[in-house]
Structure 1
Amino acid sequence: MFISGFLVFPRSSQNGVSKTQSAGNQRHKSSLVGTSETTRATTENHPPFCEWLAGILDGDGTMKVSKQGYTTLEITMGLEDLPLLRYIQHMLGGSMKMRSGAKATRYRLQHQLGMKQLMNCINGHVRHSARLLQLHRVCQVHDIPVILPKPLDAQSNWFAGFFDADGTICIAMKHQLPQLSIRVTNKHLQDVESYKVVFGGNIYFDSSQNGYYQWSVQSRKDVIMMLDYFKSSTFRSHKSRRFFLIEEYYSLYDLKAFQPDSIHHKAWLAFLDKWNKLMI
């Protein structure tokens, strides 16, 4: 349901955390950290949007608490992903502003009722190292116990959101052969390890740009596994549209259409034209 442009989710008693506290544990409840087991009934009632949104926030978002105690959410993405940010604005309310000279758009939510509803939405799904700390601070302001994230699996929509923020699909020539790869990068190793655990592939360290970790799958088997995940989860970034061309890529690859003397080479060039236009 929507009230004044904000999502309203079903509520349960204290998000599944018991109100009973022992005499020696009379802390403010916002300092409590619940477990996924004690709150599972609440988090599973949320739509997949919440888990996808948590992935977006883990990659490109930030949550802040001002000196006056007001909380805000900000997500900054390139201009090409304006439709994605408009979708979030449609779901949560908030405002958007073009970043001058940066070719980027900043989405901001600062309505305090909206922020409280946002916390109830993403709580239990946020898992990025820095974002968990931000979540705890914001939840403390809104008197909401923090829920620790439960393990991810191949049906988790978080992967789609984090890919929309920090992922890419590319084709590079290697030994005169095209190589398709799906990649996700982040400064912290633990924030890309879940992809390797669930989808296979490898993690590499790149020392450029002050260092970052990159998860990558290149084998057809692993790429197809990601393609199957794509068909069951909703991606919304402009780069995710390349998933629709993966099957065509392998069909042309098997025909060796990438070779200049192939009778299918014109089809390969037309494919590359479509592929490159999806990143504009």
Structure 2
Amino acid sequence: MNMNYAISWECLLPLRVTSNIRGLFNKSRSSQNILCFARKETQSAGNQRHESSLVGTSETTRVAPYSKSFCEWLAGLIDGDGSLQVSKKGYTSLEITMGLGDLRCLRYIQDKLGGSIKMRSGAKAFRYRLHNKQGMINLINCINGYIRHTSRLQQLHRVCQQLEISVIYPIKLDKESNWFAGFFDADGTITMSMKNNSPQLSIRVVNKLLQDVQPYKEVFGGGVYFDSAQNGCYQWSVQSREDVLSMLKYFKTHTSRSHKSQRLFLIKDYFTLRDIKAFKANSIHSKAWLDFINRWNKLKI
């Protein structure tokens, strides 16, 4: 299942813009006898380290060799599709499971962190796994302070205890955080359906717990709804032009790397065709609409 530049399409397939609508339309270490910091940075009131995760008294300051944008994005992806584990023998590991369409996304992570990728037996998915100790130390130094999902934060505590690293609590999110792009890659989707004989595009994020989708509403607007299907879950979504284009603006500078982000390319075409009512059967632009629908449906998410 890296980072502040216009939407990086290195994990994506190139999209064709057809002639029908062409006219319409990115270790250092120093021993200390104090707390083990996950990053060399000033502690703020909203970014506090949890001392109860410490084991022993001799700690080490570690600096993650990754960019902040990558670390935020990766934390969001792990919050949605990952799992931080400690075995009975005390070995730590990370697992991320994503669909077949996101193999390139997992390879991107593998290039950064190492680890292995295998197809899950009997499932249409790939599993990325990292388990060597130094790799896990590098990982924790990267994502510590950005993990916020309720279950994943508990897992982070257990792993940090095992690795003798203190947990950093996450700070409040804003539109500059790449965490939203990572969590969208895990639990988000872009859909379109007909409503009152007119197309309706939605950007959504779904999770079991309300507090794990609430930040999207606080930062990007939209609404949060409870969906009783699939044992119940909470769904954040935006549908208005203003909110959808606001999300598109966000993704232009905060990279989404899953295959589902390919539909971001089509949003402006969607609004252009919708405005001229190309979706109507008697429209002179109906062929352009059909071509758009074909391209949209090829991007299964």
Q: Give the TM-score category using the shorter length.
A: 0.7 to 0.9
TM-aligned CA deviation for residue 208 of structure 1:
1.2
Residues 54 and 29 of structure 1, relative CA distance in 2, 3 Å threshold: closer
Matching of residues 38-117 of structure 1 within 5 Å: 46-117=67-138
- Partners of 1:76 and 1:237 in 2: CA distance: 12
1:4-49 residue CA offsets vs partner (Å, 9 max, x unmatched) = xxxxx5567732599xxxxxxxx766179xxxxxx9xx78x84311
- Provide the C-alpha distance between the structure 2 equivalents of 1:234 and 1:11, rounded to a whole number of angstroms: 31
Partner of 1:6: none
Instruction: Name the count of aligned residue pairs.
Output: 256
Give the structure 1 partner of residue 153 of structure 2.
Answer: 132
In the alignment, structure 1 residue 30 sits paired with structure 2 residue 63: no
Q: How does 1:151-162 map to 2 (within 5 A)?
A: 151-162=172-183
Partner of 2:12: none
Relative to structure 1, the CA distance from residue 49 to residue 208 in structure 2 (aligned partners, 3 Å threshold; closer, same or farther) is: same
Q: Deviations over 1:183-228 (max 9, x none)?
A: 0000000000000000000000011111000000000000010000
> Normalising by the residue count of structure 1, what TM-score does the alignment of the two structures yield?
0.87
| Inter-partner Cα distance in structure 1 for 2:95 and 2:105 | 14
Listed as ranges, the gaps of 5+ residues in structure 2 are: 1-26, 43-50
CA contact (8 A) 2:84 2:93 kept: yes
Counterpart amino acid of 1:263?
I
Matched, 1:190 2:211: yes
What are the residue-to-residue correspondences of 1:12-27 with 2, within 5 Å? 14-15=36-37
Q: Aligned equivalents of 1:177 and 1:11: distance in 2?
A: 59
Following the alignment from structure 1 to structure 2, what is the Cα–Cα distance between the partners of residues 10 and 106?
30
- Give the gaps of 5 or more residues in structure 1: 1-8, 19-26, 33-38
Is 1:257–2:278 an aligned residue pair?
yes
| Distance in 2, Cα, partners of 1:236 & 1:255 | 31
Q: Distance in 2 between matches of 1:233 and 1:102?
A: 30
- After superposition, the CA RMSD in angstroms is 2.2
Match in the other structure for 1:229: 250
Supply the distance in 2 between the matched residues of 1:61 and 1:87 (Cα, whole angstroms).
15
Contact 2:182 2:256 in 1 (8 A): yes
Residue in 2 aligned with 1:119? Answer: 140
Aligned: 1:219 with 2:246? no
Alignment partner of 1:207 is 2:228 = yes
Compare the two structures and name the one with the higher helix fraction.
Answer: 1
Q: Could you list the per-position Cα deviations for residues 63-115 of structure 1 after superposition, in whole angstroms to 9, with x for gaps in the alignment?
A: 11011110010001111111100100110000011012211000000011000
**Residues 11, 268 of structure 1: alpha-carbon distance in 2 compared, 3 angstrom cutoff:** farther
Q: Distance in 1 between matches of 2:123 and 2:53?
A: 41
| Cα separation, 1, equivalents of 2:53 and 2:120 | 38
Q: Which secondary structure does the structure 1 equivalent of 2:184 belong to?
A: helix
Among candidates 129, 143, 149, match of residue 164 of structure 2: 143
Off by >6 Å, runs of 4+ in structure 1: none
Between the aligned partners of 2:29 and 2:257, the Cα distance in structure 1 is 28
- How far apart are 1:139 and its partner, in Å? 0.5
Instruction: State whether residues 213 and 236 of structure 2, in contact with CA within 8 Å, keep that contact through their aligned partners in structure 1.
Output: yes
- What SS does structure 1 have at the residue aligned with 2:94? strand
